[in-house]
Structure formats: C-alpha cells, structure tokens
Homo-oligomer: A and B are copies of this chain.
Amino acid sequence: MATEASTESSADAYDELLDKIQRISNVQNAAGVLGWDQQVMMPDEGTPARSKQLSALSAVSHDLLVDDEIGELLDELEAEELDDEQAAVVREVRRSYEREVRVPTDLVEEISELSSEALPAWKEAKAENDFSKFAPTLERLVDLKKQYAEHIDPDRDPYEVLFEDFEPCLPLDQAEEILDEVKATLVPMIEEIRESDVDLAVDSFQGTFPEEQQDELVRDALDVLGYPWERGRLDVAPHPFSTGTMFDARVTTRFDESDPLGALLSTVHEFGHATYTLGLPDEAYGTPLGQARDLSVHESQSRLWENHVGRSQAFWELFLPTFKEQFPETEDVSVQQAYEAANQVYEDNLIRVEADELTYHLHIVIRFEIERELISGDLDVADVPETWNDKYEEYLGIRPETDSEGCLQDIHWSHGSFGYFPTYSLGSVMAAQLYAAAEDDIGDLDGQIRAGDFDALHEWLTENVHRHGQRYETNELVVEATGEDFTADYFLDYVTEKYGALYDLDSA
C-alpha cells in the first residue's frame, strides 16, 4: 500500500512538474515567434514595443522557473524511483532551475540592460572602426558575466560556468582538448594550402544571379532535401537563422546577387538545424524530451547537411542540373568545378562568417583563446585588438588592418555571450563523427545523395539523435548514436582526406 501511495504521489508530482515546465516552454516558444517576427516581418519602428514584449516574456519565464514549488517538486521526485525518461526530465529541470535561482534578478536585469546598450555601442564602434567606443561596455560586460558565473558556482573557473549556458553537459576541458587537436592539424594544413600551386575552379559561379531565381533555387534545394513545408517556411533575414518547434521549424536565408553558393549553402545549413527541431518527438512538446540537447549537437546537424551533404561531390552531381535550370549561364560548369567552387579555401579572408570549412575553425580558436583570457583576467579589454591581430597572423598568416574586420566583426560579445563560439567548431567535429557512423550503418550514402534519396539519412539522424531530445547528456548521446566516445578523429580524417585531394597536399 505504502509503495502504491508513494508511486501515485510521485506520478502526481511528475505531472505537476510537467505542467509547470510546459507553461515555461510555451512562454519561451512564444518569445521565439516574436524573435522570428522581429528579424523577418516587423516594421522598422516596431522595436520599442517588441523589446518590452520580449523582456516581459523573459521575466515571466524566469519567475515561473524560480517558483519554490518547482524546487519542492524536484526534491520530492529526486527521492523517488523514476523511469529513464522521468529521470532525464528531472535532471534537466534541476539544471535550469539551479542556474536560474542562483543568479539574483537584479544582476540578470543589469546584464540585459547593459546588453541593450552594448549593441548600439558595438555597431557604432564597428562602423567607425574605433574599438575604444566599445571597450568600456565590453569591460563592464566581462565584469558582470564574471559575477554571474560566480553566483552560479564560486568554486569553478567562471568561463567553464559561462560555457554551460550553451553546453550544459559537455566538460570544458574536453571541448578544449578537441579544439586543440583541430588547431594542431589545421594550422599547418592551411599553411600548406597557402603555399600550394593548385588553383581550384573558384570562378565557376561568377556573374550576377538575381535574387528571385536564387530564391527559387534554394526552395528547390529544400524540396530535394525533404523540407516539410507543412511544418516550416523560408524567409529572408539579415542574419540567417532557424527557429521554432517540431510543429513549426522555420528557416531564413539571405541573398547576395554575386554569390549564389552563399545563399544555397547557408540555406542547407539552416535546413540542418530545422531537421533536428522537426525530428524531436511531437508528444514531448514543451518538455526537455522535446527540446534539442545543446548547441554543439544542434550545430552538428547544420554542419552535417551543409558540409557533408551540400559540399559533397555527390550532391553536386544531383543538384547541378537544377542549378543550371535556374541559371542557364552556368551550363558549362562541370560537377568537379562546382565541387571545387563550393570547397575553396579562402586564404586571405578575415571574416568568420565568410570563411570556408577549414579556416573557419581557426577563427573560432582565436575567439575561444581570447575569451578565456578575458574572463580569467589574463587579458585586459584594451589589449584585445592587438592580441587578436597577432593570433590571426600566427594561425592564419593574415593580419587585419582594422578592428572592424578584426575583433569588432562579431556581435556575440555585445550580447554578453562568452563561451558560445566553441560550439560552432564542436558541432563540425561531431558532424563528421555522426556522418561516419551513419555511413557505416546505411552503406553507400554518396550513392543515395546522387540519387536524391535522403530518407535513410533522415531516418538515421532522427532515430539516433533527434528523437532523444535531452534524454541523454551530450557524451552519452554521441556514444548512443555512434558507438564511440566523442572524438575529433573523424573530423580530422575527413578534412585531411578531402583537402589533401583538393589541394594535392603532402600531409594527406
């Protein structure tokens, strides 16, 4: 009898917890819709009201989460026998709850207000190429974020704590090890490419490609890849992103009339994010089991589709005819030329978002190293520009001439986001491991891509990654999906083989 009563009461407590966190998720998802609208639809002067709406939703969601009753339900449930799913939900809610209750509301508001001021300050500094206009704000942001980390856990490296905002369950030293391995392989490889005599067919897609046809082209690509329009839509946004839920996962893109590959591959990237969201189980909507694991796993899905599919020779065998239908002026381009154009390494590029698959990660490593030192106090804000430029010279062999194309290029710090950048590279690394495992299980993926048949790959990713939501922690998820620990090996093999062949490298 006692057991039964206790089971009943724990079932009640679990349902009550679910109700509460579903309400919070709904409020957060509503904020997601408002954010999408702000980027994609909102008229110019809508900002004052939209900012207030978003901060109200954020305050409401905070208040709902730090509710004492959630703490009590968690205590109660943690003392019970729970099945795997319940245990995962309780673990994830506990994690968010602890982070949210430990930080004083005043500090959260202070950070949020300072970020609002930081955005225009950063924009102005970037536009005027004057780091000193952003430095004082950046200094205060660093200070506030250190305070924030200290509230969450005064005994740990604050950068580690900040990193967990984006990677709640991937140890920072593991991330660091992976980034070190990537750096150790890529720095010499890129140097070798700089010195290589090989000229790729980088001029295959030169000319003017009108926006209207590019729009049709990327819609064709989404059709080919299997984007379910009944649960999504494509729009234009200044900075492409993907957002939503498994019922409604939208993607955005942007067009540059001189660069049709940019829009195409960026759309495929956002499609990858959307497939993850769409693969989460409908019935778990609003709970951690219906939410993506973290940013590295999310980025693994976008990079898998962008790089392993969209930049593959097989994809260009499939898609080049469609490309030529939209742009008959490219009729003489061969598959090999298209493949080379999609995979050229931009040796002299200073801008992360315009980087190729290789140099990209050195852009990340530089930011990661600088962030760590900023937060540890080993680097003063005033010294960021010089450190930045030195590292570009050392790792990439190029030196920015201005801070606008140097340390002021990215928006993230103005949001107070420290610890975000590494997730981009971790995602690429994980993508390679997942793709290799999928290929092992499925067989001839290249053949399927050439045939435009993406069903098996979709199914594999849904089955092994998407449908789990936050059931497993990151490392567990990778083991579940691939049978191996999270490792940089697959990524390093992949880039060594691919770029070795493209650039005829000795090291390959």
Contacts and interface: CB of A to CB of B under 8 A. Distances in A.
Given A27-B56, A60-B27, A230-B43, A245 B37 contact: no
A52 B248 contact: no
A231 B60 CA distance: 27
Given A23-B56, A42-B248, A49 B230 contact: no
Interface string A23-59: 1001101110110010001111111111011011101
Q: Is the interface of A mostly helix, strand, loop or mixed?
A: helix
Contact of A229 (B43, B52, B64, B248): B43
Contacts of A26: 52-53, 55-57
A356 to B, nearest CB: 33
Interface in A139-184: none
A52 B46 CA distance: 25
Nearest to A229: B43
Interface in A242-265: 245-248, 250
A37 B30 CA distance: 11
A46 B231 contact: yes
A232 B27 CA distance: 25
Contacts of A285: 48-49, 52
Given A231-B43, A248-B42, A49 B23 contact: no
A331 interface: no
Contacts of A64: 60
A272 interface: no
A103 to B, nearest CB: 20
A27 B31 CA distance: 10
A14 B312 CA distance: 64
A30 B53 contact: yes
A222 to B, nearest CB: 13
Contacts of A49: 29, 245-248, 285
A286 interface: yes
User: Closest 6 CB pairs between A and B?
Assistant: A26-B56, A46-B248, A49-B247, A30-B53, A26-B53, A49-B245
Given A27-B57, A30-B30, A33-B53, 5 more contacts: A27-B53, A43-B250, A46-B248, A49-B245, A50-B248
21 contacts: A22-B52, A22-B56, A26-B52, A26-B53, A26-B55, A27-B53, A30-B34, A30-B56, A33-B37, A34-B34, A42-B248, A43-B233, A44-B231, A45-B231, A45-B247, A45-B248, A46-B231, A48-B285, A49-B246, A52-B286, A60-B64
